Copies of this chain bind each other. A is one copy, B any other.
Amino acid sequence: MKKTTIKDIAAKMEVSPSTISRALSDHPDISDRLKSEINEMAKLMKYRPSSAALNLKRGTVKTIALILPEITSFFYPSVIHGIEQTLHLQGYTLLILPTDDRLEREIENIIIAYDHNVAGVLLSVSKETITLDHLESLNESNTPVILMDKVIEDAPYSSITIDDYKVSYQMVQHLYKSGCTHVGGIFGKASLTISHLRYKGFAKALADLGLHNDLDLVRFVNNSQEAHDNALDLLTNCRLDGLYLMTDEIMLGVMPAVSSLNIKVPEALSIIGISDGLLPHFMMPKVSHMRHDGRELGMLSAQKLIQYINARNNHLQWKSPEVVMMNTNIVLLDSTR
């Protein structure tokens, strides 16, 4: 059955389509009596405005695109959740475009977003992304873009992240304060800015604290399994009393390795990670961590993006990109003294 259009209502009520349109949008030129009659008829005929027509007329779509490396991780689902909640309240809808961590697909997705005329774009870059030249088309169409979580530094876009450097620094500091002197770390893909920043904070803290930064104690891994294997190697072959874990994925692989080696935690080894908060509570032992709330990151990003969109619609100009670094709270559990 075809959907009823404004014309159908107009035909049935023997007025012109424009009158229907005005009545439905409460235009003052239409009498109240007619308005209510038309509204009734619209309900009766189950009229719903065609979003396709509106999109064409409006020139933009009430959708924002989320371009991100992958949805199957511990972190992103909660980010998506936060974004979706915020957008839903504003009547926006969410288009998810995963890149599989490949630049090629990131470019494709930018094009898709451009073609769709989305109102804005949230971008978490792939591990292959070095520049943001491929965002040119979005600039030309004046589409707001916000970088989140995995960002390119010093790019002319606003960004929202945690302060990876500072957080990592603080984590090492905390290990030091609880007595660790031989601190190792397991990081994510080496190519990511986020890994790099976290490593820098980690290394700087070691240096500032006068601790030796032994490169053997630092590993860069691609998944839980590699984290597991590297942890086994690290813990059997190196002397170590403190361990830094960059993500939930890494934690998931490392903790069983620790426990299979019968290492006493936190007596012989203190462990601290960065996490969304769920996993650390169900590890044995529970893992102390810097709590980085994905949902909050998502909500903040979405809010910021909508601000930009509204500013654009009101022809306001934004002077310079904003860089937001979210706070994290330290959650102390059983894995540290």
Contact = CB atoms under 8 A, between A and B. Distances in A.
Nearest to A72: B77
A196 to B, nearest CB: 26
Nearest to A140: B1
A70 B78 CA distance: 10
A259 B55 CA distance: 56
Contacts of A53: 56
Contacts of A49: 115
Given A282-B252, A282-B256, A98 B115 contact: no
Contacts of A52: 52, 55-56, 59, 61, 117
Interface stretch (A15-23, A89-97, A185-193, A267-275): A89-97
A71 B80 contact: yes
A84 interface: yes
Interface of A is mostly: helix
Contact of A48 (B76, B77, B115): B115
Interface in A29-51: 46, 48-51
A140 B141 CA distance: 37
B93 A93 contact: no
Contact of A96 (B73, B96, B140, B281): B96
A96 B80 contact: yes
Contact of A228 (B97, B112, B141, B282): B282
A215 interface: no
Contacts of A114: 48
Given A72-B77, A78-B72, A282 B224 contact: yes
Contacts of A117: 50-52
Nearest to A61: B52
A255 interface: yes
A284 interface: yes
Given A95-B94, A96-B96, A116-B93, A81 B77 contact: no
A163 to B, nearest CB: 24
A137 B48 CA distance: 11
B3 A141 contact: yes
A230 to B, nearest CB: 14
Contacts of A256: 282-284
Contacts of A116: 51, 93
A144 interface: no
Contacts of A80: 71-72, 96
A202 B84 CA distance: 36
Contacts of A242: none
A50 B56 contact: yes
Interface of A: 1, 3, 46, 48-53, 55-56, 59, 61, 70-73, 76-78, 80-81, 84, 93-98, 111-112, 114-117, 137, 140-142, 224-225, 228, 252-253, 255-256, 259-260, 278-279, 281-284
22 contacts: A46-B137, A48-B111, A48-B114, A52-B52, A52-B56, A52-B59, A52-B61, A55-B55, A71-B71, A71-B77, A71-B81, A72-B77, A72-B80, A72-B81, A73-B77, A84-B96, A93-B112, A93-B116, A94-B96, A95-B95, A255-B282, A259-B284
